[in-house]
Amino acid sequence: MWTLLGAILVALSLGSTPHRVLTVSSYEYGFKAPDTVRSGVVTVRLVNRGKEDHQVVFLRLDDTTTVLRAMRTLVEQKIHTTGLHAVSGVEYARPGQTNETSIVLLPGRYIILCELPGKDDKAHVSKGMLHELTVVSSGAAADTVLPPSVATVRLTDYHIALSAPLRPGTRLVRVENHGSHRHHFMVARVLHNERLAEIDKWDGKSEPAPIVNIGGASALDPGYASVIKLRLTPGRYVLACVLQDSTGATPHFLLGMEIETIVR
Ligand SMILES: [Cu+2]
């Protein structure tokens, strides 16, 4: 009996073992990251050593595309890319900041990239901010269970639902895409008393900014999930997806993918 209990306790403690960390450093304009990683759950740690904001999106290539063709499409910033599956990543890190997202990496070829816009409005990927990564199979040892979270964000076309209120502190939040389009999840703190309607009118660059991004999950295709680590202080937050389905299309936050939440 006690042996069985002991075995269960060992199993439980193994289950809570922190996941492998995959450290990615960003700078202008590139990534310092490993070329190879083993499959399973990894916690992607984006360390922003640059002077601008950066992100890291993980895209898995299927058999219909080559690394060269995928890279060419990405550098040209085409929204509709075939053969590439967005599996999330770290949405945002300010200069000097480190942010984390846990994702499941299946074996295969990947490209990691930053799609944030530079001062000239061109995405950083067009300046060379992409890196090829090979995920090799861990075999039966591959862990595919994401770490436990205090709340789940359900993304659909075009809605965001939060399963539980967010409290101050360092919190793990699960993000799931249940829609049929690619979405991401942006978390921004409202700096003053601006209402959502006023924030929606902001062009994203003029000063003073009404919000400050604090993190989130980078793009996920339908069916994917990730767990983000958020450092929350009390206040008002905007949770949104600003992706669009095609060039010139209405961004998702204007279609309903924007909610306000109070952390207290
Ligand atoms: Cu969206």
- Is residue 208 assigned to a domain? yes
According to the model, what pLDDT value does residue 1 have? 46
Write down how long the chain is.
264
6 occurs within a structural domain: no
Same domain assignment for residues 165 and 213: yes
Give the distance, in angstroms, between the CA of residue 175 and the centroid of all CA atoms in the same chain. Answer: 9
Same domain (yes/no): 59, 26: yes
Same-domain check for residues 72 and 172: no
Is 150 within 8 Å of 121 (Cβ atoms)?
no
Given 94, 112, 141, the domain boundary residue is 141
CA 158 to ligand 1 centroid distance, Å: 7
Give the pLDDT band of residue 9 (cuts 50, 70, 90): very low
Indicate whether 81 belongs to any domain: yes
Structural domain includes residue 2? no
Highest averaged pLDDT of the listed ranges 9-23, 114-128, 174-188, 206-220: 174-188
CATH of the domain at 209: 2.60.40.420
How remote is the CA of residue 95 from the centroid of ligand 1, in Å? 26
Residues 197-215 as b/e (b if ≥16 CB within 10 A, e otherwise) read eebeeeeeeeeeebbebbb
Examine the domain organization and report whether 161 and 223 are in the same domain.
yes
Which domain, by its residues, includes 224? 151-263
Which residues, in sequence order, are CB contacts of 51 under 8 Å at separation 6+? 28, 95
Whole-number Å distance, alpha carbon 245 to ligand 1 midpoint, is 8
Considering 141, 167, 184, which residue would you say is the last residue of a domain?
141
146 occurs within a structural domain = no
Question: Looking at the structure, do residues 97 and 164 belong to the same domain, yes or no?
Answer: no
pTM: 0.90
Looking at the structure, tell me whether residues 131 and 160 fall in a common domain: no
- Give 251 Cα–ligand 1 centroid separation in angstroms: 7
- Please name which of 108, 100, 97 lies closest in space to residue 66, comparing C-alpha atoms: 108
Ligand 1: distance of its center to the CA of 247 in Å?
Answer: 14
Q: Residue 13 — very low, low, confident or very high, per pLDDT cuts 50/70/90?
A: very low
Q: How far is the CA of 54 from the centre of ligand 1 (A)?
A: 19
> What pLDDT does residue 65 have?
87
Give the chain's domain count.
Answer: 2
> Percentage of the chain surpassing pLDDT 90?
72
Kindly tell me if the per-residue pLDDT of 110 is higher than 80: yes
Helices (H) and strands (E) in the chain, counts: 3, 17
Distance 11 CA to ligand 1 centre (A): 38
Give the Å distance between the CA of 148 and the centre of ligand 1.
24
Q: Cα(225) to centroid of ligand 1, in Å?
A: 14
Cα of 87 from ligand 1 centre, angstroms: 14
pLDDT on residue 12? 46
Q: How many angstroms does the Cα of residue 80 sit away from the middle of ligand 1?
A: 14
Rounded distance from Cα 161 to ligand 1 centre (Å)? 13
What pLDDT digit, counting tens, does each position of 138-171 carry?
987 778 999 999 999 999 999 999 999 999 999 9
pLDDT band at 15 (very low <50, low <70, confident <90, very high): very low
Domain final position from 141, 175, 198: 141
The stretch 205-232 carries a mean pLDDT of 94
- The confidence score (pLDDT) of residue 203 equals 84
Same domain, 255 and 158: yes
Q: Are residues 29 and 55 in the same domain?
A: yes
Q: Per the domain annotation, does 11 fall within a domain?
A: no
Distance between Cα 222 and ligand 1 center (Å): 10
Centre of ligand 1 to C-alpha 218, Å, is: 11
CB count, 10 Å around CB of 115?
Answer: 20
Mark whether 189 and 231 lie in a shared domain. Answer: yes
Cα 155 to middle of ligand 1, angstroms: 8
Q: Is residue 3 part of a domain?
A: no
Residue 40 backbone class (left: φ over 0; alpha: ψ -120 to 50; beta: rest): left
Instruction: Look over the chain and give the mean of its residue pLDDT values, rounded to a whole number.
Output: 90
Mind listing the pLDDT tens digit for each residue in 48-79? 999 999 999 999 999 888 888 888 888 887 66
- In this prediction, residue 22 carries a pLDDT of 97
Distance from the alpha carbon of residue 181 to the mean position of ligand 1, in angstroms: 7
Distance from residue 67's CA to the centre of ligand 1 (Å): 26
